[in-house]
Structure 1
Amino acid sequence: MRKLPVFPSLRSFLDWSKGRGELSTLPDPVRVVHQMTAVHDAVLRRSGPVLRFDAPILADGTRSSIPVVTNVFGTTERVAAGLGLPLDRVSEFGEFLASLRAPAPVEGMRDAMSRWPMLKAALSTRPKMSKTGPVQEVVLEGDAVDMTRIPVQTPWPGDAGPLLTWTTVITRAHGTEADAAARYNLGVYRAQVIGRDRIIMRWLAHRGGAAHHRTWAQANEPMPVAVVLGADPATLLAAALPLPEGVSELTFSGVLRGERAHLVPAKTVPLLVPAEAEMVLEGWIHPGETADEGPFGDHTGYYNSVEPFPVMRVSAITHRRDPLYLSTYTGRPPDEPSIIGEVFNDLALPVIRQQIPEVVDMWLPPAACSYRMAVVSIRKRYAGQGRRVMMALWGMLAQFSYTKFVVVVDDDIDVRNWDDIAWALATRMDPGRDVMVVDRTPMDYLDFASPLEGLAGKLGIDATNKIGAETTREWGQVMALDPGDRDFAADLIARRLPGLK
């Protein structure tokens, strides 16, 4: 299945990007306060290369010796490459992942042998262990721990301070063993730096890290946490994937990487961490210790409100001898998370079709914060089918509970073409008949449009052709040219108007 080399580390992916002319090194001094985001944003909007800032300037005006890497996933092609695939193979990989979730019964030896890639993928989830690794070439503890020496960005003018963004946060539930990697949770949570050895861990209540935190709080014991900075692409993307509950992102990364995860024991907390990462922050979250986090610019394009979140006391910083610091920013799309979302859209489609077979295609417009709107095309066979699909989507995955607009169209509509969508809405939808409103449903509390924090309405629009009991009128017939006439026109234009695009 994998078509690209294995990337066991971030720097191996950077080497591959450099070989393709997709990595640019910037020797100019660039401030981590606001300037770096401005450069990154301008390059991302031009579908530009990975950026390596070799002269990051800290908030106090001094130069950091740690280069900053941004825009790693600034194009859909590089996101797919992080999965080990060319972009046109993402949907095929999605079919493979769907088969892992619900494999069909084996029928004979030939069928069993044909499933070797699936078996190999399952075996790739078992991590390999070492006593130490490159990420622990340097170990800083006690007074040597100093978060202010890491070139952490302050992305936006209204931000409260330095913000760790491309974090891969490793946690486990109270009562689980440190070596039980299959029971770990990985999440990408932003973390505000508030001192030499203090960061605020912002995880929302429905996320895996927060669920683990509640188990330690109930036991009234400090919780061990490891924050990985600069993980390999497979680990980063696995942490961002909407995997089924109970599936460990750390072990699942082996499926994406094409080889087993390489782990080592952390130095000061009972956790396993990626051996090939650039840096790891180890520490503890003590019961009841919180601090006000924010405000920070978010993926909505607005600053979020200030709220209390748990504080992590950093007990150690481990890193390579020559570490890189991986960073990004979040803001109104396009940004790296929205570009990753475009690829995950195609990756998730086969899983959605497993549950809702009539779905032909789906698009989560990046401009709508990547998940707040879905346009779905279906093969319609019976009255009320559009509404059934809306409700099925909202209830299928936790992520779709935050999708507040669902537009359902027929399979002759291109769901990625706003002109097609507008035509379907204008000609196949009646506002008094084809709109479904649901009230007081779960919603991202960062949605300031919602009347209550965490609760909001949902809007479903059935823009399909109406059949059966859905209408009492004779429905119109779509106009279309004869295919033979289209071919004639295309041939004539190619011969007589060759410059016409």
Structure 2
Amino acid sequence: MQRLSPCPDLRAFLDRAEALGDLARIGAPVALRHEMTAVQLAALRRGGPVLRFDNASDDHGARAGLPVISNLFGTRARVASGLGIAPDDVGEFGAFLAALRAPAPVEGMRDALARWPMLRAALSTRPKILRRPPVQEARLPDLAALPVQTPWPGDAGPLITWPVVVTRPHGSAPADVARYNLGVYRAQVIGPDRLILRWLAHRGGAAHARGWARAGEPMPVAVALGCDPALLLSAALPLPETVSELTFSGVPRGARTEIAPAATVPLMVPARAEIVIEGWVHPGDTAPEGPFGDHTGYYNAAEPFPVLSVSAITCRSDPLYLSTVTGRPPDEPSVIGEVFNDLALPVIRAQIPEVEDLWLPPAACSYRVAVVKIAKRYPGQARRVMMALWGMLPQFSYTKMIVAVDGDIDARNWDDVLWALSTRMDPARDLMVVDGTPMDYLDFASPREGLAGKIGLDATTKIKAETTRDWGRVMVLDPAHEARAARLLDEVMA
């Protein structure tokens, strides 16, 4: 696996994209309210470049003070680049990350040296503290200085969409960054110094907030905007709760994370971010957040969430503002999700060895449906694998449908999957339905908020006790004949 050169900040990543002809500068005026969303999604659906809006405008047509960057991870290639690897190496990098999570015992010096890349990655997780961080070169007066989008026509107001929210548990020291949590939680601007943080109850930020609230103390929070790609993607990765995204980001970056003490709150913050919003979340201070367009393709309901009271906004001397849009796939999160699917496959195989491939179709909101290909050896194995995915792996707790197929089926090809469903699945025998299981409360199809049913479809060939009939024999051509046919056609169609 060949690693790309490290990108210590967003600017280095943009320079790499521009050198590859993968960045477009838009000088024409583009409105932050709704219009920019249309441009972003059009670029993403064409597999287009990173966009830099140099003339974003507000509701009155006035030019925003900062350039807006978007569609950063609009292609699989750029997501891989953000991880410091080539697209073809995503699977290998996933295996590498799986080994970091559960490394085998080292046997002798030769084995240790063979694993040097892994050891170097582990060392890269130790942050480096900067005394004069670039993100504190200047300050912005208030949130009104940020060119925040209002993405969809039914949205409640301006929404910060790529914030990396930094928190730590109550009782921890500011220097204990291994206990920090970084999460990408959308943030609604409701005033010049007030920001609603939408963190769900099961997320790390919410868990930290409950600890500070129990102690009756305000919680320090930092919101980093325009972080380097490795930090952005690490904050979005489903890492174990015991792993800090801040320290882990050194692994994909291939270089130590640079941090610095915040200016007004007791936290360490990313030193090379473009902008950092600092402040406090006071116990009981909430406001109705939303409605906003969500990844489901629907607007979610307004609900109370914590409010951040801003104490300072530090920034670079010429900051860039990073933004994205969330909606019905394809969108930027769904592109990232496709790559994360491949990264997670080695971890899944380590726990369920018979899994050969697994696909989370982006059109199914990136996780609502899964197709799993297995090496089937015994009756009932497909059902066991489906139950294992739902029960063993937390990331599948919101997956409402699993389709299991055999090793001769391309799990990522709907034509293959539908053929298997049509010829290997009997609805009366091969459906597994369970009720009262956890579900994303944004799933409006659920009869009860947060609880719903799940369905498993066994589209594998039935063997032994699974059927009393002789099974059909699949038709295949001789590979030698297919190869000769290809050569003949190449000659006559050249």
**TM-score scaled by structure 2?**
0.99
Is 2:292 aligned against 1:279?
A: no
Tell me the distance in 2 between the aligned counterparts of 1:183 and 1:66. Answer: 33
Post-superposition shift, 1:107? 2.3
| Equivalent in the alignment of 2:486 | 490
Post-superposition shift, 1:101? 1.2
Tell me the distance in 1 between the aligned counterparts of 2:333 and 2:310. Answer: 27
Aligned residues: 494
Amino acid at match of 2:74: G
Amino acid at match of 2:76: T
2:362 to 363, 366, 370: 366
Residue correspondence of structure 1 range 333-372 to structure 2 within 5 A: 333-372=329-368
Is 2:69 aligned against 1:69?
A: yes
Amino acid at match of 1:156: W
| Equivalent in the alignment of 1:423 | 419
Tell me the distance in 2 between the aligned counterparts of 1:171 and 1:88. Answer: 35
Residue correspondence of structure 1 range 70-109 to structure 2 within 5 A: 70-109=70-109
Structure 1 residue matching 2:482: 3-state secondary structure = helix
Residue correspondence of structure 1 range 144-159 to structure 2 within 5 A: 144=141, 146-159=142-155
| Equivalent in the alignment of 2:263 | 267
CA contact (8 A) 2:218 2:281 kept: yes
CA contact (8 A) 1:279 1:317 kept: yes
1:223 to 215, 219, 226: 219
Amino acid at match of 1:48: G
Structure 1 residue matching 2:397: 3-state secondary structure = helix
| Equivalent in the alignment of 2:56 | 56
Tell me the distance in 2 between the aligned counterparts of 1:233 and 1:397. Answer: 26
Structure 1 residue matching 2:55: 3-state secondary structure = strand
CA contact (8 A) 1:2 1:258 kept: no
Q: Deviations over 1:232-289 (max 9, x none)?
A: 0000000000111211001000001000000000011111011111000001000001
Post-superposition shift, 1:224? 0.6
Percent sequence identity over aligned pairs: 70
1:409 to 405, 410, 420: 405
1:250 to 234, 246, 251: 246
CA contact (8 A) 2:338 2:366 kept: yes
| Equivalent in the alignment of 1:127 | 127
Structure 2 residue matching 1:473: 3-state secondary structure = coil
Amino acid at match of 1:111: D
Is 2:322 aligned against 1:321?
A: no
Q: Deviations over 1:171-193 (max 9, x none)?
A: 11111111111100010000000
Structure 2 residue matching 1:402: 3-state secondary structure = coil
| Equivalent in the alignment of 1:172 | 168
Post-superposition shift, 1:24? 0.6
Is 2:373 aligned against 1:377?
A: yes
5+ residue gaps, structure 1, are: none
Post-superposition shift, 1:219? 0.8
| Equivalent in the alignment of 1:474 | 470
Post-superposition shift, 1:60? 3.8
Post-superposition shift, 1:68? 0.2
Structure 2 residue matching 1:389: 3-state secondary structure = helix
| Equivalent in the alignment of 1:5 | 5
CA contact (8 A) 1:56 1:64 kept: yes
Structure 2 residue matching 1:148: 3-state secondary structure = helix
Q: Deviations over 1:84-136 (max 9, x none)?
A: 11100000000111111111122222111101111111100000112230000
1:295 to 291, 295, 309: 291
Structure 2 residue matching 1:430: 3-state secondary structure = coil
Tell me the distance in 2 between the aligned counterparts of 1:61 and 1:482. Answer: 66
Structure 1 residue matching 2:54: 3-state secondary structure = strand
Post-superposition shift, 1:484? 1.6
Post-superposition shift, 1:468? 1.5
Amino acid at match of 2:345: L
Structure 1 residue matching 2:395: 3-state secondary structure = helix
CA contact (8 A) 1:361 1:415 kept: yes
Structure 1 residue matching 2:51: 3-state secondary structure = strand
CA contact (8 A) 2:2 2:86 kept: no
CA contact (8 A) 1:132 1:265 kept: no
Post-superposition shift, 1:2? 4.8
| Equivalent in the alignment of 1:137 | 137
CA contact (8 A) 2:234 2:245 kept: yes
Tell me the distance in 1 between the aligned counterparts of 2:315 and 2:251. Answer: 26
Post-superposition shift, 1:408? 0.6
Structure 1 residue matching 2:291: 3-state secondary structure = coil
Tell me the distance in 1 between the aligned counterparts of 2:52 and 2:105. Answer: 49
Q: Deviations over 1:331-364 (max 9, x none)?
A: 0000000000011111110010000000001110
Structure 2 residue matching 1:228: 3-state secondary structure = strand
Post-superposition shift, 1:497? 2.6
Q: Deviations over 1:156-180 (max 9, x none)?
A: 0000000000010001111111111
Tell me the distance in 1 between the aligned counterparts of 2:132 and 2:176. Answer: 18
1:187 to 183, 205, 208: 183
Structure 2 residue matching 1:224: 3-state secondary structure = strand
Aligned-residue CA RMSD (Å): 0.9
Structure 1 residue matching 2:372: 3-state secondary structure = strand
**TM-score scaled by structure 1?**
0.97
